[in-house]
């Protein structure tokens, strides 16, 4: 009998709890600070932006957080997601490695983002919130929140980074299909946007700028709250449904991972896949090498500084202890718009400082080459963001070919690239370039770090 290529779990195996890794860390992460007092934030400080249930989850020390039934009802539209062995990719590489990928592209919006968009919309609706504001880079998060808001009858207003707004018009269209209102960021709608446009009318925008605009509007209206698609603890926790399913599925294959690879922008996809495996590693049940992959144009882990910084450009957010390139840093307009963030999840930054995982940075041409190889062997066109993880997965598999090691490599294909074909066109036409980031640009942005 042929060995299986994919493991599909029954709907009854959707996780009933999110996993909160804070409960198992050897040291607690540093708290977020109030930018005025420099004291740790209290619940009241966050109440203008988030519903109380999400604030409680943000600071929770509980190992598991129960998933509400109303969230599970929506999850059932696409979860559990498959774990697939990339046999054709392995064959094309001539590697003894066994490559597995957890495929999140079958969700309604085409990525892993609804895993947190749905609970965020749910909790806001329960608290009587009428409208949600947010930012989006490549549009994966924006389309996910637009979908989720529609499920709970909540309005959705989105600031989309200008570079991606222009590069990915159909992702913008999808947000409109789900009922959202979309602005190109920086926009004339907010004071933060107007200030940026006055200084740089042709600004390509950044996630930091778009966050400033969304937070500004949320803070001005009592019936409006802000939703974030990555970075914060509760967002990373919601994404652990990915890893919880993958732990069970990989065991069903009879495998234990030797290497786990994920892409990192703000950190939600990487955390969602890896946190349950970190739990198993901390408990001594496995010992994989875990590796984060980021773009060379926005190398937060590999070239950033671990310091308190604002999560946005205008300085509206609390101060977060994280790996940062400086809140004034505006990345070059690479096609992996979801990875163009100046900072990194504080929880992941803390874990990186503890030496719990590795990080590397890659150029976008190498990543698109990996995306083409994957599409031509496995049939799925990856979004530009997970091509970073695929490029490093392929590099690891090639090292196995050279060493003869039959490692088990696990990665997450966190979204499809159906709306990113213009980027693939540019690569195929030889028009794509890698952006060499000069150190002086990083130094200039880091010079404005708040003095904490």
CATH of residue 401's domain is 3.40.50.1100
In a domain, 236, yes or no: yes
For residue 42, what pLDDT band results from cuts at 50, 70 and 90? confident
In a domain, 34, yes or no: no
In a domain, 59, yes or no: no
The pTM is what?
0.95
Q: What is the mean pLDDT of the chain?
A: 94
In a domain, 149, yes or no: no
Which range of residues forms the domain containing residue 381?
Answer: 69-110+232-447
- Provide the 3-class DSSP secondary structure of residue 95: coil
The owner of tokens 């604002």 is 310
In a domain, 120, yes or no: no
Cite the beta strand spans of 129-281 per DSSP E: 131-136, 155-161, 181-185, 224-226, 259-263
What percent of the chain lies above the pLDDT cut of 70?
99
Region 296-309: mean pLDDT is 95
H-assigned helices in 253-332: 268-282, 300-303
Measure the CA angle with vertex 184, ends 262 and 322; round to 5°.
40
Please give the Cα distance from 103 to 242 (Å, whole number). 9
In a domain, 121, yes or no: no
- The continuous run of DSSP H or E covering 399 comes out as helix 384-403
Please give the Cα distance from 33 to 326 (Å, whole number). 17
What percent of the chain lies above the pLDDT cut of 90?
83
Please give the Cα distance from 84 to 249 (Å, whole number). 9
**Is 2 a residue whose pLDDT tops 80?**
no
Measure the CA angle with vertex 44, ends 41 and 50; round to 5°.
95
**Is 186 a residue whose pLDDT tops 60?**
yes
In a domain, 242, yes or no: yes
Residue 412's pLDDT is what?
96
The answer to whether the CB of 16 falls within 8 A of the CB of 333 is no
Residue closest to 160 by CA, chosen among 120, 113, 114, 211: 211
Please give the Cα distance from 298 to 81 (Å, whole number). 30
Extract the tokens encoding 63. 């190992």
Contacts of residue 401, Cβ cutoff 8 Å, sequence gap at least 6: 93, 94, 95, 96, 97
The answer to whether the CB of 391 falls within 8 A of the CB of 261 is no
Render pLDDT for 190-211 as a digit per residue (tens, 0 to 9): 999 999 999 999 999 988 899 8
For residue 157, what pLDDT band results from cuts at 50, 70 and 90? very high
**Is 407 a residue whose pLDDT tops 80?**
yes
Q: How far is CA 26 from CA 278, 347, 401, in A?
A: 12, 12, 36
Residue 187's pLDDT is what?
96
**Is 35 a residue whose pLDDT tops 90?**
no
In a domain, 273, yes or no: yes
Please give the Cα distance from 451 to 314 (Å, whole number). 16
Render pLDDT for 234-268 as a digit per residue (tens, 0 to 9): 999 999 999 999 999 999 999 999 999 999 999 99
Whether the upstream peptide bond of residue 125 has omega within 30° of 0, thus cis, is no
**How many folded domains does the chain comprise?**
1
Render pLDDT for 358-404 as a digit per residue (tens, 0 to 9): 999 999 999 999 999 999 999 999 999 999 999 999 999 999 999 99
- How many angstroms separate the first and last alpha carbons of the chain? 62
């Amino acid at each position: 009998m042929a060995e299986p290529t994919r493991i599909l779990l029954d709907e009854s195996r959707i996780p009933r709890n999110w996993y909160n890794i804070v409960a198992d860390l050897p040291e607690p992460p540093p708290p977020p600070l109030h930018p005025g007092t420099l004291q740790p934030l209290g619940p009241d400080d966050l109440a203008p932006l988030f519903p109380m249930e999400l604030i409680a989850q943000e600071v929770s020390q509980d190992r598991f957080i129960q998933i509400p039934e109303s969230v599970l009802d929506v999850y059932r539209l696409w979860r559990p997601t498959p774990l697939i062995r990339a046999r054709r990719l392995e064959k094309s590489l001539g590697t003894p490695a066994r490559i597995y990928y957890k495929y999140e592209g079958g969700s309604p919006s085409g990525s892993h983002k609804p895993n947190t968009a749905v609970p965020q919309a749910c909790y806001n609706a329960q608290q009587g919130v009428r409208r949600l504001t947010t930012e989006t880079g490549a549009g994966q998060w924006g389309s996910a929140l637009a979908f989720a808001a529609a499920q709970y009858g909540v309005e959705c207003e989105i600031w989309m980074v200008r570079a991606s707004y222009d590069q990915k018009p159909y992702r913008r269209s999808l947000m409109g299909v789900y009922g959202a209102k979309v602005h190109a960021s920086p926009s004339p709608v907010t004071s933060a946007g107007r200030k940026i446009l006055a200084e740089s009318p042709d600004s390509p925008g950044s996630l930091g700028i778009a966050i400033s605009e969304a937070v500004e509007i949320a803070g001005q209206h009592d019936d409006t709250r802000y939703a974030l698609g990555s970075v914060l603890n509760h967002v990373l926790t919601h994404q652990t449904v990915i890893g919880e399913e993958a732990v069970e599925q990989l065991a069903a294959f009879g495998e234990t991972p030797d290497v786990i690879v994920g892409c990192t922008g703000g950190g939600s996809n990487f955390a969602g896949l890896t946190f349950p495996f970190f739990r198993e590693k901390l408990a001594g049940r496995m010992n994989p090498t875990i590796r984060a992959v980021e773009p060379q144009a926005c190398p937060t882990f590999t070239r950033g500084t671990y310091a308190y910084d604002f999560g946005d450009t205008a300085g509206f957010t609390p101060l977060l202890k994280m790996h940062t390139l400086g809140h004034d840093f505006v990345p070059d307009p690479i096609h992996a718009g979801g990875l163009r963030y100046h900072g990194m999840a504080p929880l992941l930054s803390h874990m990186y400082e503890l030496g719990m995982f590795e990080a590397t940075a890659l150029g976008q041409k190498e990543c698109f080459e990996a995306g083409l190889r994957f599409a031509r062997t496995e049939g799925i066109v990856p979004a530009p963001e997970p091509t970073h993880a695929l490029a490093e997965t392929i590099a690891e598999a090639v090292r196995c070919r050279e060493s003869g090691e039959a490692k088990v490599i696990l990665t997450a294909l966190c979204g499809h690239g159906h709306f990113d074909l213009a980027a693939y066109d540019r690569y195929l036409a030889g028009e794509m370039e890698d952006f060499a980031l000069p150190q002086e640009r990083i130094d200039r942005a880091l010079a404005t770090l708040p003095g904490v």
